[in-house]
């Protein structure tokens, strides 16, 4: 698994991500100036669990959708849609564009086919969970989106 990114400054930046330990699993956090940007960064953190981000080229785009009755369920649905698309398409995504309208999320994920030798995937992500899930505007005005991934 990639090393944890520094957390002390992550929440202060407009867009950032980090991992947080959670037993045998791994937590992902995204921060952004908007809720959609925080969801994008949580997706970046998900990919970074698998491989260093600089190894993922942006060659092909895939449109995705998710829905949920509240922000936390929407985040888990979004991350699980990514896990599903990566598994069924044999791809890794390194860039994301998310829009959220009410209880629906529309996104474009950009990446490439998995190259085992170059990407050296670290683990298999089974899915995002409701464990420690949180979507909220934090005191500095930024948004936080976090969930624990079952690996």
Place of tokens 């992500």: 125
Element (H, E) at 98: strand 91-101
Mean of the pLDDT values across residues 22-30? 87
CA pair distance 25, 20, nearest whole angstrom: 9
Phi, psi of 102 (to 5 degrees): 65, -120
What percentage of residues in the chain have a pLDDT greater than 90? 85
Domains in the chain (CATH in brackets) are 17-150 (3.55.10.10)
pTM higher than 0.75 for the full model? yes
Residues 31-75 have pLDDT tens digits of 999 999 999 999 999 999 999 999 999 999 999 999 999 999 999
Mean of the pLDDT values across residues 4-15? 56
> The dihedral of CA 82, 127, 113, 20: what is its sign?
positive
- What are 104's two structure tokens? 């629906």
Q: How many Cβ atoms sit within 10 Å of the Cβ of residue 76?
A: 21
């Amino acid at each position: 698994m990639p090393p944890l990114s520094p957390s002390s400054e992550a929440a202060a930046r407009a867009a950032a991500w980090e991992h947080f330990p959670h037993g045998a699993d791994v937590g992902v956090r995204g921060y952004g100036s908007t809720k959609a940007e925080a969801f994008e960064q949580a997706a970046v953190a998900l990919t970074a669990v698998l491989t260093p981000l600089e190894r993922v080229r942006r060659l092909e785009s895939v449109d995705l959708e998710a829905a949920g009755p509240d922000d936390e369920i929407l985040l888990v649905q979004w991350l699980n849609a990514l896990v599903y698309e990566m598994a069924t398409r044999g791809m890794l995504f390194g860039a994301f564009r998310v829009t959220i309208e009410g209880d629906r999320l529309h996104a474009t994920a950009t990446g490439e086919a998995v190259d085992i030798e170059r990407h050296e995937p670290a683990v298999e992500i089974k899915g995002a969970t409701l464990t420690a899930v949180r979507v909220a505007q934090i005191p500095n005005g930024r948004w936080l989106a976090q969930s624990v991934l079952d690996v």
